[in-house]
Amino acid sequence: MAKVLSGAGLRGQVAGKTALSTVGKSGSGLTYRGYDVKDLAQNCQFEEVAYLILRGKLPTQAELNAYKARLKTLRGLPQALKDVLERIPADAHPMDVLRTGCSMLGNLEQEMSFEQQQEVTERMLACFPSIICYWYRFSHDGERIEVETDDDSIGGHFLHMLLGSVPRELHEQVMHVSLILYAEHEFNASTFTARVCASTLSDMHSCITGAIGSLRGPLHGGANEAAMEMIEGFTSADHAEQEMMGKLERKEKIMGFGHAIYSESDPRNEIIKGWSEKLAADVGDTVLYPVSVRCEEVMKREKGLFCNADFFHASAYHFMGIPTKLFTPIFVMSRLTGWAAHVMEQRADNRIIRPSAEYTGEELRAVTPISQRG
């Protein structure tokens, strides 16, 4: 059953057209250019899906090899960007670092014409992991890491730079799945931000910088970090239940649950939940995964609410040794594909996005001279 979409927040209003994805068409499904996300997550690498979203078709083996080889050559960072990253303090939020990194890149390597849109997107796809890890390792460990690694995939490149060793196959595989799940989601808040910016005929870096700012909030991409902060405070499944009941009584919002469009479930959840379970077994976890499952049960029973894509991403990333504050930047590494494809789609059939507002302010009145104002 589809969710009733009405009320504030532009809910249920068609704000444009897209051929990129469908969300919740039958209450719970998600497709990218006609392919079910479950099918893609099971059978593809992230780079294949990025190619699909950005170029419109799944690549052949030869096209995929060429695409990955090209991305590999684009991992380096200009010295001026490294200098900026080195000045950002360790207690900055990595989403702010990425926002600044993206903006600085736009100063150094401007998009001079829309003909360069694929090229500038590929550059960002290849070097966003470098930006995050260069800053993180410099500010936390005082190390100027080598960002031009030979890793086969974007996820592998990220894990290698972050953790300092070639990632295990299991972890690289989970990164493929995670990046596929987060890649595209129709007119969500951050994508809509990118499209509004694109509609003024602005440059790609401005569109993406704005989108990063929108994704940062806890009601959107920031929910995976907020979920982690909550579950790591629970010492057992029973403790989680007790605390969750208290939160619900106090009418607190529980991050990682609910969705603006899906009514029954978020199709990405069962996939990442399955991987979280595998990773839990891999690390011998007996707390975090059972805690997460109990949270899911309590929310379903008490509020009829289901986990969205963010909830089990928290435990999955944690089991791979990824620091919590880097969770949402991983979302950016992936969603960049969707954002850029939407920018391209907007540019191809553009009219400036400019809705109207219902005025609720004062009636027309005259300016009182300043000497007479109380």
Ligand X SMILES: CC(=O)SCCNC(=O)CCNC(=O)[C@H](O)C(C)(C)COP(=O)(O)OP(=O)(O)OC[C@H]1O[C@@H](n2cnc3c(N)ncnc32)[C@H](O)[C@@H]1OP(=O)(O)O
Question: According to the binding rule CB under 6 A, does residue 308 interact with ligand X?
Answer: yes
Residue 207 interaction partner, one of ligand X, ligand OAA, none, beta carbon < 5-8 Å per kind = none
Nearer to ligand X, 30 or 97 (CB): 30
Q: Is 370 exposed, middle or buried (0-12, 13-18, 19+ CB in 10 A)?
A: exposed
The least CB distance from residue 300 to ligand OAA, in Å, is 18
Q: Element (H or E) spanning 26, and its range?
A: none
Give first-to-last CA distance, the chain, whole Å.
Answer: 57
Alpha helices in the chain (DSSP H): 37-43, 46-55, 61-72, 79-86, 94-108, 117-141, 154-163, 169-181, 189-198, 204-215, 223-231, 237-249, 267-283, 288-303, 311-319, 327-348
Q: Please give the size of the binding site for ligand X, defined by CB under 6 A.
A: 17
Binding ligand X (rule: CB under 6 A), the pick from 309, 316, 320, 326 is 309
Dihedral over alpha carbons 159, 161, 165, 170 (to 10 degrees)? 10
Respond yes or no: is residue 239 known to be catalytic.
no
Binding ligand OAA (rule: CB under 6 A), the pick from 75, 171, 176, 185 is 185
The least CB distance from residue 235 to ligand X, in Å, is 22
Question: According to the binding rule CB under 6 A, does residue 20 interact with ligand OAA?
Answer: no
Find, among 326, 328, 179, the residue nearest to 255 by Cα: 328
Question: According to the binding rule CB under 6 A, does residue 188 interact with ligand OAA?
Answer: yes
Catalytic residue among 176, 205, 310, 313: 310
Q: Please count the residues of the chain.
A: 374
**Closest residue (Cβ) to ligand OAA?**
188
The least CB distance from residue 185 to ligand X, in Å, is 7
Give 321-364 as a DSSP string. Answer: T--GGGHHHHHHHHHHHHHHHHHHHHHHT-----------SPPP
Question: According to the binding rule CB under 6 A, does residue 278 interact with ligand X?
Answer: no
Judged by CB under 6 A, the chain residues 253 through 312 that form the site for ligand OAA are: 260-261, 308-309
Distances (CA, A) of 280 to 9, 155, 286, 308: 38, 20, 8, 19
Nearer to ligand X, 255 or 326 (CB): 255
Contact string (CB under 6 A) for ligand OAA, positions 303-322, x = contact: -----xx-------------
The least CB distance from residue 5 to ligand X, in Å, is 9
Give residues in contact with ligand OAA (CB under 6 A).
23, 185, 188, 260-261, 308-309
